[in-house]
A and B are shown apart, each in its own frame.
Chain A
Amino acid sequence: MELLEAIVDGMNYWIFIILMMIGLYAMITKNNLVKKLIGMSIFQTAILLFYISLGVKEGATIPILPHYYAHTSQEEQGNLVGSSDQAHAGKEASSATEGGKEKPSVAHAGSPKIDPNRFTNPLPHVLMLTAIVVGVSTLGVALSITQKLYTEFGTIEENEILDQLKSGDD
């Protein structure tokens, strides 16, 4: 029972670790180069899930401000001085309302008052956006190397390529 509770509590970490183990196992033990690359992609997906699950915040929404925030800010933009005071005031005001459905009156009261608890942290999303890009690049280069190996050796099994290299040396 204790194990079950531990699994349920840290479900996101268990999923990420199991996916990572599958990917790592495929990368280490598989002979087929394409299967190794599939393992690498699974590994990368596990890392993405890990970061995104760290960014999740209870009761928060995606890090994109609703429209009325943007409109009030355009009236008030350039008003950089004292904006941190406003943000603090906004935080206190909205924590007083206990994070319920925000009132439009709060937004219309002047400068935008944004409650940090209502939006998730954008940083993990940005990091993973760029990590996906790196994943695509590495996969593209790895596939092209695999294709080159296939045209050279006629196989993508790692042990057969090694055998051919050894017999070529003799």
Chain B
Amino acid sequence: MKALGLIAVLGTGLLLLAASRDFPNWGDPSSPASSYRLSRHFITQTINETAVPNMVTAVLADYRGYDTLFEAVVIFTAGIAVIGILRRYGNRDFIPAGGEVHLTPKQPDLIVESTVRLLIPVIQIFALYVIAHGHHSPGGGFQGGVIFGASFILLALARDLRTAQNWVAEKRMLILACCGILIYAGIGVLCQLLGENFLDYQILHRILPTDPVMARYHSILGVEIGVAFTVTAIMFSIYSNLSSNGQMKEGI
């Protein structure tokens, strides 16, 4: 088995190495990826068409809006799948085949508690900054959402899962995740109702007090907020299910 695997891996590697001679050199400005007109259009026209200086955000949420919508749906589906696989409701204690794991009750630790108490608000403010400032600096819904979810995971690690669950109940988190998808898809449907294509934001200038370019700018922010809701909720949901073996009682 090992020898067979090694042969397959080496064969694939050699094939790819042989193919890599046809690839462009490192940093070649005339490589196909850089010289194709799509790249030039994104770089030169994004600011005129959407007024967003960060091209990555503009391409993510506007030009490739469909892709990002279903990316958010992928995250949502993964969260639902983890709950479906692991989550056990009810009070009956389930003893796994590997033997029950006994975690000693956590003693409150002064240093850890004080540090976390100081850190979590800063992390959450930073997450909001990353979401809201994604137009002008590296950031956006996915990144900010992960940072926000990490603040809850930090709380669950430093105290215990119960404390984190008291802060944000499981049900509320899942409602938040659904809201995120609904915000994103709702903006798309709103464009359709106004007579344009799905996720074609510029028609929204009819209901927003701005011109078509700024309508795209502001809808990108709305879409990013929807993505951030979903990512925050699903990150914490995956963590709490995995760490407590689906019982949501005693975490790591």
Which residues of A are in contact with B by a Cβ distance under 8 Å?
6, 9-14, 17-18, 20-21, 24-25, 28-29, 53-60, 62-67, 69-70, 73-74, 76-80, 83-84, 87, 90-91, 111-112, 114, 116-117, 119-126, 129-130, 132-134, 136-138, 140-141, 143-145, 147-148, 150-155
Contact = CB atoms under 8 A, between A and B. Distances in A.
Contacts of B34: 55, 57, 120-121
Interface of B: 1-2, 5-6, 8-10, 12-13, 16-17, 20-21, 23-29, 31, 33-34, 38-40, 42-49, 51, 53-56, 58-60, 64, 67-68, 71, 74-75, 77-79, 81-82, 85-86, 94, 96-99, 136-138, 140, 142, 211-214, 231, 235, 238, 241-242, 245-246
Contact of B33 (A67, A74, A124): A124
A114 B13 contact: no
A87 to B, nearest CB: 4
B68 A121 contact: no
B74 A137 contact: yes
B interface SS class: helix
Given A9-B25, A54-B33, A21 B64 contact: no
Given A58-B27, A83-B48, A121-B33, A147 B55 contact: no
Contacts of B94: 151
A70 B50 CA distance: 11
A59 B29 contact: yes
17 contacts: A9-B25, A17-B17, A20-B16, A54-B24, A57-B27, A58-B29, A63-B43, A69-B53, A70-B53, A77-B51, A87-B45, A114-B43, A126-B59, A126-B64, A136-B78, A140-B242, A150-B98
Contacts of B98: 150-151, 154-155
B10 A87 contact: no
A123 B81 contact: no
Contact of A125 (B1, B56, B142, B242): B56
Contacts of A55: 33-34
Contacts of A114: 43-44, 47
A123 B39 contact: yes
- Top 3 A-B pairs, shortest CB-CB distance: A137-B78, A154-B97, A28-B5
Contacts of B40: 116
A37 to B, nearest CB: 12
Contacts of A54: 23-24, 31, 33
Contacts of A12: 26
B23 A122 contact: no
A87 B75 contact: no
A interface SS class: helix
Nearest to A76: B48
B31 A65 contact: no
Given A140-B242, A141-B81, A122 B45 contact: no
**Looking at B78, B213, B235, B245, which has the most chain A CB atoms within 10 Å of its CB?**
B78
Nearest to A117: B29
Contacts of A24: 8-9, 12
Contacts of B43: 63, 114, 116, 119, 121-122
A136 B138 CA distance: 20
Contacts of A69: 47, 53
A29 B55 contact: no
A126 B29 contact: no
A106 B213 CA distance: 23
A57 B9 CA distance: 31
A122 B31 CA distance: 14
B238 A140 contact: yes
